[in-house]
Structure 1
Amino acid sequence: MAVVRSSTLAFVGRLFFVALFITSAVQKLQSFDATGGPIMKAMQPKMDHFLARLEHFTGIDLPLEKQAYVYLLAFATFLEISGAVLFLFNSALGAWLLVLFVTAVTPIMHNFWDITDVHDRMLDTIMFFKNLSILGALFFYLGNQPKKLRVD
């Protein structure tokens, strides 16, 4: 029986891990246009709601016009694809980019606490906690990097 090297297992694990991000980013890029494409139809009401809640609870009114959402979507897609590719090749920077992406996207796109439809709430609850698990895995990865790559 052949023994699989741990570096091979680690690469395959990272490949499976980033498959989620790469396929999602490719899907966004394939449908992206000047208006943001179909993904913008899902993002815009979520962003509107998030910004309204942010202002309600903190008093902070971010002066974001709806036209700027397409730039936020483009930046999020950049973080997602670049983070995934870098992480695939064992880069801590890639992990940090994915942490930034997941941390920014999760409370906006998976705000289960504000959803009244039972099915939609259940779906967004699952997605929220999936993203929380992904953050945990990224932090685990970053915490196990050699000392010179870690931010202590």
Structure 2
Amino acid sequence: MAVTAIIGRVLFSFVFLLSALEKYRALRVDGADAAVVRAVAPALRAMKTIVNDNAGIDLCALMPSDYASVNIATWVELLGASLFACGYALGAKMLLLFTVCVTPIMHPFWRRAGESASIEDEAAIGVEMIMFFKNVALAGALVFWLAMRSELSEERQRRKAKRA
């Protein structure tokens, strides 16, 4: 069972590792002008506006630049995936934090769902919805793994106390 758990963690982490490494490469090569920063910037600005309008919190003052935000998120994703692949709960928690924060910013399918749209727009909305719920499923798997890890740890402690 230990080998299959390792394989499962590595395969799960693989998606995050590849994504983070590609973002890291783009940030190193292109810096603040990287395509990933240009792609994320409108979504970040929209999220900051929504939070400011609805909660009265000026995230523009609190959050660093778009480049820094993407760089921080990339490091959280990269370190979290690496640690999770090695079996550390901190890695799972970092990936959970990354997924929960990034998903509603990058895949807000509900914002465009009510608009009358062309077939291409409807397809794009469908893709965003699939990506959103895929990330929800990944977050659920991380929560499940953390819960099972905790439960197994408690079981080991009970057995150890019984033997003593």
Q: TM-score, normalised by structure 2?
A: 0.81
**2:130: which partner in 1?**
126
Structure showing greater radius of gyration is: 2
Cα distance change of structure 1 residues 36 and 13 upon mapping to structure 2, 3 Å threshold: farther
Cα distance change of structure 1 residues 38 and 133 upon mapping to structure 2, 3 Å threshold: same
> Do the aligned residues in 1 keep the contact of 2:48 with 2:60 (CA within 8 Å)?
no
Cα distance change of structure 1 residues 121 and 90 upon mapping to structure 2, 3 Å threshold: same
Structure 1 range deviating more: 114-123 or 61-70 = 61-70
Identify, as 1 or 2, the structure richer in helix.
Answer: 2
Structure 1 range deviating more: 34-43 or 123-132 = 34-43
Identity %: 34
> Do the aligned residues in 2 keep the contact of 1:40 with 1:70 (CA within 8 Å)?
yes
TM alignment of 1:35-74, pairs within 5 A: 35=32, 37-64=34-61, 68-74=65-71
| Runs of 5+ consecutive residues of structure 1 not aligned to the other structure | 1-5
> Do the aligned residues in 2 keep the contact of 1:44 with 1:66 (CA within 8 Å)?
no
Q: Runs of at least 4 residues of structure 1 off by over 2 A?
A: 63-67
**2:31: which partner in 1?**
34
Give me the CA root mean square deviation.
1.9
| Runs of 5+ consecutive residues of structure 2 not aligned to the other structure | 116-120, 156-164
Letter in 2 for 1:50: M
Instruction: Give, in whole Å, the separation in 2 of the partners of 1:141 and 1:66.
Output: 30
Instruction: Determine which of 2, 11, 15 is the counterpart of 2:6.
Output: 11
Shift of 1:147: 3.7
**2:145: which partner in 1?**
141
Instruction: Give, in whole Å, the separation in 1 of the partners of 2:111 and 2:68.
Output: 25
TM alignment of 1:56-135, pairs within 5 A: 56-64=53-61, 68-115=65-112, 116=115, 117-135=121-139
Instruction: Give, in whole Å, the separation in 1 of the partners of 2:20 and 2:61.
Output: 23
Shift of 1:52: 1.1
Cα distance change of structure 1 residues 135 and 83 upon mapping to structure 2, 3 Å threshold: same
Instruction: Give, in whole Å, the separation in 2 of the partners of 1:36 and 1:93.
Output: 31
Shift of 1:63: 2.7
